[in-house]
Amino acid sequence: MPKPKKPRRPPNPLVAALVYDGLCVFEFSCAAEVFGLPRPEFGADWYRFETCAVGRRRVRSQYGLVMESDGGADRLAQAGTIIVPGWRGADEPVPAAVIDALRLAHARGARLLSICSGAFVLAATGLLDGRRATTHWRYADALRARYPRIQVDADVLYVDEGQLLTSAGSAAGLDLCLHLLRRDYGPARANQVARRLVIPPHREGGQAQFVESPVDQEEGGSLAPVLDALRARIDQPLRIADLAARAAMSERTFLRRFQAATGMTPADWIVRARLDIARELLERTGLSIEQIATRTGLGTAMTMRHHFRRKMGVSPTEYRRQFGQREVVANA
């Protein structure tokens, strides 16, 4: 059995956070807390952290805060790791000077890391073409449409492509920063930093567990009565033939119309609807997994766990632990 690889400490410990007018403060704070906070317990073997602005040294961030950056593009050229903490907006163009600075940094071996909408900045450089990347689930479709050569994965908390690392929305930036710390210095240090931040060193699952259940009053159009009937009988066995008859269509026509109206097959729609109800019951009740599986039509606890992990990326128990009401979790 091969020995586990030892962490490779960064040859260049300078971490530079790109700051800009409209700076996303929370995303910036994620990077500053992990890489910029003094940690004397680790001695001199630690990161150095700077803020860098391309253009004016003084920037105005969200909420009216004004920041004087440590340096400009010259410091980006010196950094071993560059962090893009969000961006002004998915539709906001990225200045050519920023794109050029990031491309040059990448060419000389620097690691580029984005948090949340910062993925649009890395995407603008062209460096993510042909690679996996992620961003906040709300921006995923826009990123796909604008940069079709990027393999956008909206289900994960972060993606590590070696020199290029991207994270999902906001707090997932902490997950990615801890991941890079773990990669550089090993799990012991990452766990110690996580304890100081009072967060788990590694979160299970991906973004799917945080996405709101879609609510579309127009979903299905003429199929709306059928969808309402499905929801009302969600705990019962459902046959395509019965659904088609209710819609007064042949099975073939029903399947085609259903796919066009909802974007999924009846089977997939039913599983999604059952999981939506299961999530609500996990959050608000103390019912057992077996009881919820029966009540939602998912059958057995084993079947529910299978669908839940496949769609949400976590087990029902873990989901309840994270999102259930305190008294529900205590009694589970």
* Mean pLDDT (whole number) for 154-171: 90
**What residue has token string 């689930």?**
137
- pTM score: 0.67
- For 250, the 3-state DSSP assignment is coil
pLDDT greater at residue 185 or residue 230: 185
In which domain, by residue range, is 228 found?
A: 221-331
Q: What is the mean pLDDT of residues 205-220?
A: 52
Residues 35 and 168 in one domain: yes
- The residue among 150, 177, 209 that closes a domain is 209
**The token pair that represents 206 in the structure block:** 């991906």
Domain count, the chain: 2
3-state helix, strand, coil in the chain (%, to 5): 50, 10, 40
Boundary residue ending a domain (154, 188, 209): 209
User: Is the residue at 215 inside a domain?
Assistant: no
Residue 162's Cβ-count burial label (10 Å; 0-12, 13-18, 19+) is: exposed
Least confident of 83-97, 153-167, 235-249: 235-249
Q: What CATH number did the domain enclosing 66 receive?
A: 3.40.50.880
Mean pLDDT (whole number) for 219-235 = 74
pLDDT of residue 88: 92
Q: Is the pLDDT reported for residue 179 higher than 70?
A: yes
From 52-56, 101-105, 200-204, 291-295, the region with the lowest mean pLDDT: 200-204
Question: Do 41 and 151 lie in a common domain?
Answer: yes
DSSP per-residue codes, 88-133:
S-TTSPPPHHHHHHHHHHHHTT-EEEEEGGGHHHHHHTTTTTTSEE
Q: Is residue 319 part of a domain?
A: yes
Decide which of 185, 209, 233 is a domain's last residue.
209
Grade residue 199 by pLDDT with cuts at 50, 70 and 90: confident
Are residues 205 and 226 located together in one domain of the fold? no
Rounded Cα gap, residues 44 and 47, in angstroms: 8
Torsion of CA 49, 179, 167, 99, to 10 degrees: 40
Round to whole Å and give the CA distance between 186 and 85. Answer: 24
Q: Is residue 124 located within the same domain as residue 205?
A: yes
28, 163: one domain = yes
Same domain, 33 and 110: yes
Highest mean pLDDT range out of 162-166, 243-247, 285-289? 162-166
68 occurs within a structural domain: yes
Query: Is the pLDDT score of 281 beyond 50?
Result: yes
CATH number of the CATH domain containing 235: 1.10.10.60
Is residue 8 included in any domain, yes or no? no
Same domain, 203 and 272: no
Q: Give the HSE-up count for residue 131: Cα atoms under 13 Å, Cβ half-sphere.
A: 18
The two tokens of residue 174 are 């902490």
Under the banding of pLDDT at 50, 70 and 90, the label for residue 261 is confident
- Would you state the pLDDT for residue 268? 86
* Whether residue 23 is found in the same domain as residue 149: yes
Report which of 87, 17, 83, 21 is spatially closest to residue 52, judged by C-alpha positions: 17
Residue 307 lies in a domain: yes
Both 318 and 175 in a single domain?
Answer: no
The answer to whether residues 135 and 170 belong to one domain is: yes
Q: Are residues 247 and 198 part of one domain? A: no
**pLDDT of res. 220:** 45
Specify the pLDDT at position 43: 86
Is position 43 within any domain? yes
Residue type, 271: V
**Side chain identity at residue 294, one-letter code:** T
pLDDT, position 279:
84
